[in-house]
Amino acid sequence: MKLIEKLAAPVLVAGLMGGLAACGGSADGGGAGQAGGSGDGAWTPVTVTHAFGETVIEERPERVATVDFANQEVPLAFGIVPVGMSEMTWGDDDGDGIQQWTKDKLDELGAETPVLFDETDGYNFEAIAGTEPDVILAGYSGMTEDDYNTMSEIAPVVPYPDEPWATEWRDSILQNARGLGLEAEGRQLITDLEGTIAAAVAERPELEGTTGMFLTHVDPTDLSEINFYSAADTRSKYLVDLGMEIAPSIVEATGDSSSFRGSISGERADELADVDVIVTYGGQELIDALKGDPVLSQLPAVQNDAIVVLDGTTAIGTAANPTALSIPALVDEYVGLLADAAAYTTR
């Protein structure tokens, strides 16, 4: 018996009907658009290869659910309103669980807010099942194989292709597009977004060749370890998209590891002297801590005030994680912050 059948007790159904009524589409449809290409009624079963094997989508998915960060943006970019998606707690200015660019797209499509899945304590399988999806997209995610197996009892699942939280934006868009039977459209979307990025970078040529590193969420009270996103992480790869280079010290420290992060002892901070610009999450407290540390304060990037601090409570906090809808919304501002920091290195 599928999980959706196990969860179909009357009390659960009653509790979820209100959320279903708020979806972008009715119980019979897929919202403002449908998956599956030209919409001529033809459908060829799709096989998507991923980290846990293969998922076969036998029929055109009309009810699309998404989990984890920003996967909902791919169907929305194609005019498909998910029946359910993750509640966003990062970069959400007004606390309604929807980032502004997603809200703008829903408004453009004339759609109501889909069911929002609270993933604070992991996946809410009951809520996901309650939306009765035909496919669940998670091209950028951190799900485990157990999560995948449980979720697959609800509907076909499209997870990340290789490693958790390490799928760069092009691959995550393409992975989700495959799950919708829209691979060609996904490739065109990528091309369009690359054009948007190129236009933003052309406005700030001083970024070209600047070396960078992206610190992970740093505890200002404990700088004994320097934790950073590796050259394989999506945030680092995006810096390269924007004309920068990952500092050789970061590349060397993580080697050919596919892990999305690495670390070195604070005592080895001098190895990071090749970093022109530091990007991280936080606020003034972190900058003060870096400047007050006897070792880290000697780094050229710190001495030059070449630090970009992203506030996760605001929209710009998500700019380093490029997604289908956030790139057009945030790339100009993000490039500006990076270029302003890079300018300090030439003072």
The class of domain 3-197 in CATH terms is: alpha beta
User: Strands 225-229, 261-265: parallel, antiparallel or unpaired by DSSP?
Assistant: antiparallel
Asked if the model's pLDDT at residue 55 lies above 60, the reply is yes
Helices (H), the chain: 3-6, 10-21, 73-77, 100-108, 125-130, 145-152, 169-179, 183-202, 234-241, 248-254, 284-292, 300-303, 326-344
Sorting pLDDT into bands at 50, 70 and 90, what band is 291?
Answer: very high
Let me know if the fold of 3-197 is the same as that of 203-344: yes
Asked if the model's pLDDT at residue 220 lies above 60, the reply is yes
Sorting pLDDT into bands at 50, 70 and 90, what band is 256?
Answer: low
Asked if the model's pLDDT at residue 35 lies above 60, the reply is yes
* Gap between the Cα atoms of 239 and 290, Å rounded: 22
Q: Look up tokens 């069911």; give the residue.
A: 115
User: What percent of the chain is predicted at pLDDT more than 70?
Assistant: 86
Asked if the model's pLDDT at residue 342 lies above 50, the reply is yes
User: Strands 64-66, 53-57: parallel, antiparallel or unpaired by DSSP?
Assistant: unpaired
Closest CA to 219 of 267, 283, 159: 283
Q: What are the domain boundaries of the chain?
A: 3-197, 203-344
Mean pLDDT score across all residues of the chain: 87
* Gap between the Cα atoms of 223 and 287, Å rounded: 12
Sorting pLDDT into bands at 50, 70 and 90, what band is 295?
Answer: confident
Q: Could you give the strand order of the β-sheet that contains 307-310, starting from the edge strand earlier in sequence?
A: 245-246, 211-214, 277-281, 307-310
pLDDT at position 327 is: 98
* Gap between the Cα atoms of 152 and 145, Å rounded: 10
pTM: 0.86
Rounded average pLDDT over 250-274: 83
Asked if the model's pLDDT at residue 14 lies above 60, the reply is no
- What tens digit of pLDDT does each residue of 18-32 get? 333 333 333 333 445
Helices (H), 161-292: 169-179, 183-202, 234-241, 248-254, 284-292
The CA distances from residue 24 to 15, 81, 110, 172, in Å, are 18, 5, 8, 23
- What tens digit of pLDDT does each residue of 66-98 get? 999 999 999 999 999 999 999 998 888 888 999
Asked if the model's pLDDT at residue 101 lies above 80, the reply is yes
* Gap between the Cα atoms of 99 and 94, Å rounded: 9
- What tens digit of pLDDT does each residue of 127-176 get? 999 999 999 999 999 999 999 999 999 999 999 999 898 899 999 999 99
Q: Which fold has domain 203-344?
A: Rossmann fold (3.40.50)
